Structure 1
Amino acid sequence: MNHGSPELDLLQTFERLPMPLLRPLEVTAQLRLQRSARGLCRLLPQKLVRSISAARFSAGDFKSPWLPGARMVTALNRCQEEDVDACFAMLASSGDSRPEDGALHMAAVRNFLSTMKLLLCCRGDPQLRCSAGLTVLDSAINAGTVAAAHLLLDHGAGTSQPQDALLVAAGSRCLDSLAPRLIKECSADVDGAIDLAVENEDATVVMQLVQLPTAKQRKWVKQWLLRRAAVNGDTTLLEGTLALPGLDLDDGAESSVGPALLLAAEGGHAAVCQRLLQKRADLQRAARTGLRGRWTATDVAQMHSSRPEFQEVLLVLSYFDKTGTAGTAETGPPRPATEREASEALPKVQ
C-alpha cells in the first residue's frame, strides 16, 4: 500500500473529524474545550495548522465577516451567531500566539462563552483594559452578560471600579447573583455602592444593596428609602422598606421636613398613608414645624381637598384618627391596599 506523507495523513485525519478545529477531537480522547486549542497544537505542527486554516478560508468555508485578513474584533462584532471554528482558524492563520486586543472584550459583550474559553486558553488577558479604561469584566457587566461575567471571575478577572460594577450589577435583575462575588472577589465596598446609588436617587438599587449581608445597618439609609416610598407613592418600595429591621416610622416628626406619613399625605398617596397607619405610624405626631407654624398630615391634605386623591387621603386619616387603632390589616393579606381598595374599605364621603 502506498502511504502518503505524515503531514498528509494528519491533514486527512483532521478533515475527517466531525467538528473540526475546536470541537472535541476524537483522536485526543474528547479533550475538554478549555484544552482543545493546546491539544490541537500538539497534534499538528503549527505550520500545518496555519495551512489548514488558510485552505479553509480560501475555500470559502467561513461566511462574512470571517474573511481572510479581517480583524477578530470586527468579526466578533458583526457575526450573527457564535462561530468558534472560524475564530480558531483566524487565530491560527494570523500566526500570533495571542488574540488581538479587544477580542475578549467583544466576546464577553456578545456572551460568546465558547469563544471566550478559546481566547483565554490562547493566553487572552482577562485583566486587559480597552481604550476607555474598562476591563473585560466591566464590559460583561455593562452588557448584562451574566454567564460571561461569571466565567471571567472564574479566571480571576477584576474590575476597574468595584463600586460602580456592584452598582450596575445590583440594578439589573439578571446580574444580582454577581453582587456577592464582586464583594468577595473584587473587594467591592457595598456601603460605598449604596452611597453612590443614593446620590443617583436610585431607590431600587439601594434596596437591593441594603439587603446584602455585608451592608451596614445605617439608619439614615433606611429612612431615605422610607421617605422615597412616601413621596413617590411607591407601595412596592414601601413594603420592602417596612421589612427592614430598626425602621422608625415617625422619624422626622415635628421637624421642618416631617415624617413619612405627612409626606405621603402631601403627595396624595392614600394607599401609603393607610399602610403606614396600619404599621402603627403616629398620626398625632405626623406634623411639620417651622417658621410658618405647625402643619399636620391632615392640614397638607386639606390644602388640595378638591382633588379625588386627596379626598381619599382625608378619608384614611379621618378613619384612623377616629378609631385610634391600626385597623385589621395585620390579620389580612400582607400586600398594601390600592387607593381604590382603601376608599372602599373606609367610610364614604357624602
Structure 2
Amino acid sequence: MDSASDTGKARRTRNASGSHFRQSKAWRTFPLSKLEKITEEDAETLFRKMRWPATDGEPVCPWCGSHEHWYLANQRRWKCKEASCRKQFSITSGTPLAHHKLSFKQMLSAARSFTKGAKGNNAIDLTADVDFEYKTGYVLQQKYREGILHSMRDERLTGEVEIDGGWFGGYIKPENRKINRVDRRLKANLNGKRRVVVGARERRDGGRMIVGVFDTEDQACAWLSESIDIMATVYADEAPAWDDLHATHDVKRVNHSELYATGDKNIINTNQMESFFSRLRRMETGTHHHIAGRYLLRYASDGAWREVKSRVDHLTQTHDLLKAVLAAPQSRSFSGYWQRGSANHVDSLFGDIFAGLH
C-alpha cells in the first residue's frame, strides 16, 4: 500500500504501468487533426454552449438576463427585446474576450495551445501555433489567466487541506568582481521585490485549490482562515505564520527541518503543495523565464489550475478553460492594455478586479 507521502504528484500523474498520464492515449483527445476539421461555425457554436451552458447555447442578455431577443444576422449578434434594455450583445460581451478581433476558431486554437503544456505556455509559442502578433497572444493569455483566477474566487476548501508558501522574485544579479559580491540570503541585501505565494489545496483527486500573493506569510493567515472550512483538517509545515490557525482549525504540523513527513503512514505532509510549487518554479524558469511581481498572482493561478487538472484530458481542459473565461466579467486590466500602460496590481482572489473598466 502506498504511504501518504506517495499520494501526491505520483498517484495523480502516472497510470498503472508507471508511464506519465500525458503519455497515454487518454490525454490525447484534442489532436491537431481534430482541430483542423472544426469550421468557424462549429467553433462559434461551441463558444455559445460554453457561454450559456444552462440554456445549451441559447443566448441570454448579459445586461438584464432576458431570454427574449432578435438576431442581427449581418452583425452576428443579438438585440435584447426587453423594453428597459434593448442593448446589443454578442457571445463574448461582458467577458474578458469582449471586443475581440479574432475568429472563434483562432480563440479555440489558442485555448488548445494554452492548455497543451504541463509547465505553461508562453506567448511566442502561442503566436507560432495560431499565427497572430505577439501583442495579441500575450494579452489573450493574460485574459485566459484572469478567467482561471475568477473561477477560484468563491472556493471554500473542505476535508483534508494542505497549506504552504513559496517565495518568488527579488533576483539580485551578482557583482562582476567577487570582492564586491554580497550574501544575497541576508535580509539587509534583499531588494524588496520578493513576494510569497501562499496556497491551500484539498487532498483528494480533483481537489480544488486557491492561491494568493502576499508580502509575508503572516498576512495570509486571515485569508486562509476564511477560505478553509472550519471542519477541515489542515496540514502545514513548521512556519510560525500558521500558528494562529490553531485557534480556528484542526492543524497538523510537520517540521521540515527534520523530516518531510510524519505521523501514521506519513500522513502529515505537504507533498501536494510542494508539487504545485515545483510546477510553478518550472513555469518560471523553463517557460516564462521571468514573472513580474504585478502579474505573479495570475501566473500562480495558472499553475494551480494546471496542477489540479493534471489528470484531465486535453479536450476537457480546453473546454474548462473556455467555460472559466466566458463566465468571468470583462477584464479591467487587459482591455485596451497596449493603449494605456500596464495592468493593475492584484494580489487577492477576492479583490474586485473585474467589475467595470477604468
TM-score by length of 2: 0.26
More helix by share: 1
Larger radius of gyration: 1
TM-score by length of 1: 0.27
Give the number of the structure with larger relative contact order, counting CA–CA contacts within 8 Å between residues 6 or more apart: 2
More strand by share: 2
